Structure 1
Amino acid sequence: MTKLTFSKKMKVAAVASGTFLSTAFLFGFLFFLLTETHFALTWGLMFPLFILFGVLSVFGILEAFFAYCSFDDEDGIEFYSGFSKAKKIPVSSLQSFSITQKGISISYKTLIGGIEKIKSFTVSIYFQNIQSLNKWLDYHTRNLYAEQITQSVKEFTEAHYELSDDEKGKLLQKIHIIARILKWSGAIISILFIASIFLGRNFMHIGFIVCAVYPIILLVIMRFSNGTIRFDEQNTDLYPSILSPFCFCSAALCFLAVAYTYQIYSLSKQLYVSVFIMLIMFFLYYICVSESEKKMEKKRFTRIVSVVSILFIMSLYGFGVSVSSNIMFDKSKPTVFEVVVVNKHVSKGKRTNYYLEVSPWIDGKAKQKEISVGNKLYSEVESGDMVKIKLYKGFLGVPWFKTVNAK
């Protein structure tokens, strides 16, 4: 029986990365907790991220040390996840296998409720000597990867028929290098943008512009690559993908937008603008994606999941761009309302939040509005005092406000 395990290098990397990510989000959470950051950002984003990455780190470390995959002609494949025996597949149940960016995806028959169904699982690419599993599977079942590669090579050859075989190889290598550069550039841009939030307004503006424009540049590059650079990484047996750098930038933009949400006066109008930007990006994606990628054969359910996933990514981008740009680039003169502090209260937890309940403003008919403020303004005013609410038109036409002491 052949047994595959993770290498020592992979185990060290799992411990180092898990510890680093958990520590980074812990410090991020503590930083937000001890500063005047909005309650929703601290407890709604940073704390869940800290818990999430902490749990993922523990599971990742346990799997790196204890997971294994064994196989032979008699017992078939056994896969141990690090916590329990996850899979045991007889040779007779094997249907096919394919090599993906994550490892070797194996399809097999199984009985669920007396009904025969096809299931699949992936053996990680980071197992040592995984090539031996590839050779064993190639002898026992259908190699979908070889078929997909054959089709991709045929498609690539037909698209570049004027080039020699050597030139085609160099072109494909060049495309992968470009895609790798785009991927790392997206990660660096996202990290620098998040760092710029704490460095000052000018740095944040520059970082925002670069982070917002970069996904558009990625789509344009995809359009002019003639299908050799694609968006969906599930369809890239031969061609590279730009999905990860697009997600990096979208997540970073959404991260900043969450900090501004408490200043939005009309959330419904903000959502309309966000959806509008999302649809524009989806339309741009549709006209930039290659015809060959559109025509790829997929099951109906897979197509639906793919479209929903792309719309979700575009919605992150749309929300991040619309909220942040609406406030950051607004140069309108505010309309100032002097309102009476009707009541005030403190919400205490691991972080203290301060709220002022103020009298109706704008039309004089709206219900009293509870406004989140800093502890300085909260301590300066009492019930019956006046505060000023500055209402801005918004760069994208969505009203937003901030509260200051009337004195």
Structure 2
Amino acid sequence: YTVRVAGIRALTRAGNATPSEDGCTPAQQLAQIHADARKLMQMQQIVFKKLKRLMEAAGIELLTRSKLTARDLKFLEDHFLNKVFPVLSPLAIDPAHPFPFIPNTGFSLALELERETDHRTLKALLPIPQQIARFAALPSKPGENRFLPLEELLLLHLDMLFPGYSNRGHCLFRVLRDSDLEVEDEAEDLMREFETALKRRRRGEVIRMKMSAGAPPELRALIMEELGVTEAEVVEVRGMLGIAGLKELVLSSRGDLLWPPFTPRVPERVQDHDGDMFAAIKQKDILLHHPYETFDLVIRFLEQAARDPNVLAIKQTLYRTSWDSPIVGALCEAAEAGKSVTALVELKARFDEAANIRQSRRLERAGAHVVCGFINYKTHAKISTVVRREGDNLVTYTHYG
């Protein structure tokens, strides 16, 4: 959404009326996307309501402020002061305090307050850091799990955040920003060009804003004006914002509600050769069917190559890498052992650009030769090539993924 729809939005704003292959202009496509996206989000809320009832039947309950006991309130005050309050930055919105920057997927609580002494109104904003848990776990009886959503916790303690003010109205909102990257085709240093583009991307235009229903009209208009969104780009939600946060309610203590874990198999031939990947492959090519057969064998193949004194060179393509990628770790180990290591790293892996740049730097520090893909193409292929000395010959072992 933050790339494809952002591109169509940019075409629409530029006045481009050229029909695409489906015969629709960018403006018509954008209108259809908005309509379909709204239907999907409405369906999300319907499904969530059903799930909520099923969760309650299983002993997992989401509470509101009105359902809290005195014991809950005491616990939550301590939780708020020690685990939430220190990282919050409540902000007034007035000429002396301009509207702050809200990052992509940023979640905020907007408030319309009234000073108790003279009834003067104040508009305020409470950006919610992503490091704070979306739900506060409450003390519960055995077999029960009770949670309070973060927004309820914040509203419960507004007097600590804005002393002397009362709440006249509020709303939650979350923004999506244009996350497309524009890179110069003839950049001298492609990696440095991507690093610069990533910094620009953080401040892309807001392309959609989800807002809780029932926002005070003046507050709603102010937020829309400051973020530069139109009415068509605002989605009012009657329900929960930030549905993805529900993953916190997947409890390891409730194994009875989880799918049973699956253990992938290890091919017999690898076991017959005591885990020696080169011996197993030399006997016959191996076809691995993931996830039914373990991907660990691919990692073992590279780790064995990194430690094998007969391996002379390793060549590897990398599309998406994890923070502590074992494949990158094996390549670094091989390079540090003096082997010739070449890695083709695809910098255009959407939303993994920063991770790939970081891993590229790590590989370069280890002594590997890093190639940053091609401007006009994306390298999706997962290929590992290992060159090994066997007697008087050089034998090549290759993995295609």
> What TM-score comes out, normalization by structure 1 length?
0.22
> What TM-score comes out, normalization by structure 2 length?
0.22
